Amino acid sequence: MFKSLKLDIDAAMQNDPAARSRFEVWLTYSGIKALVAYRRANFFYRHGFKLLARIISQNAKRRTGIEIHPGATIAPGVFIDHGEGVVIGETAVVETGCVIYQGVTLGGTGKDTSKKRHPTIKHDCVISAGAKILGGITVHENCKIGASSVVLSDVPANSTVVGIPGKVIKRNGERVHDLEQDKRDPVLEEIKNLKDEISVLKKEIDDLKGVK
C-alpha cells in the first residue's frame, strides 16, 4: 500500500508542474485520495468483502468526485489530475505511467456480454479531459487521447486519437489522417440536396406545360 502511494505521488510530482511538495500532494490532491481509497477497497474486493469494498468506493466518490469501481485494476504510478467526474469501471485496467484528466470515463457500451466490459489502458498513455473510452478495447502504450474524444475500438501504440468517434490522426509521430476531410456541414449538404430536387421538379413541371 505504502509503495503504491509513493509511486502515485511520484507520478503526480512528475506530471503536474503545480505540485510543490510530496506532502502537499498527499494532503490535498483528490486523485491521490481516490487512489488510496481504491487500493483499500480493491483489497477487500479481492478477498470477498465486496459490500465493504463498495461502501469504501462510494464514500471516496462523495469526497473526491472520482468513482473507481473496487474491481478495477490500476497499477501504481498512475496520476489522476483534478479528477472531478472521472469514472473507471469494474473490469478496466490502467497500467503505470498513465495520466487521466477530469471527466474521463473508462466505461462499458451497455452491449458487452463478455467478462471484459471495460477498456485496458496500457502504460504511459494520456487521457485528456472529457474523453470517453468504452467497451472491452485496448489503448496500447504511449497513446494520447484528445479532449472529449469517444473511443470505441482498439488504438495502436504511439498514436494520437481525436474526434467522435475517435480516429487515429498521428502514429509514431507521422500524420495518418487529415481531419479537414471530415469537416462537412450537414445542413448545407441538405439544402443543396433540396435545391437539386426542386430543380428536377421544376423541369418536370415545365415539360408537362410544354406537352399541354
112-125 pLDDT per residue, tens: 777 889 999 999 99
- Assess whether pLDDT exceeds 80 at residue 25: yes
Tell me: cis bond preceding 186? Omega within 30 of 0 counts.
no
Angle at 210 between CA 208 and CA 211, to 5 degrees: 65
CA 166 to chain centre: 10
Read off φ and ψ for residue 142, nearest 5 degrees: 60, 35
CB burial class (10 A; 0-12, 13-18, 19+) of residue 137? middle
Contact, 37 vs 52, CB < 8 A?
A: no
- Assess whether pLDDT exceeds 60 at residue 183: no
Query: Hey, is 83 helix, strand or coil?
Result: coil
Which domains does the chain possess? 2-177 (2.160.10.10)
Read off φ and ψ for residue 20, nearest 5 degrees: -100, -30
pLDDT band with cut points at 50, 70 and 90 for residue 208: confident
Q: What pLDDT is recorded for position 204?
A: 82
Q: Which residue has the higher pLDDT, 20 or 1?
A: 20
- Assess whether pLDDT exceeds 70 at residue 186: no
Write out the three cell numbers for 43: 483489497
Strands annotated E in the chain:
67-68, 73-74, 79-80, 87-88, 93-94, 99-100, 105-107, 120-121, 126-127, 132-134, 138-139, 144-145, 150-151, 159-162, 167-171, 174-175
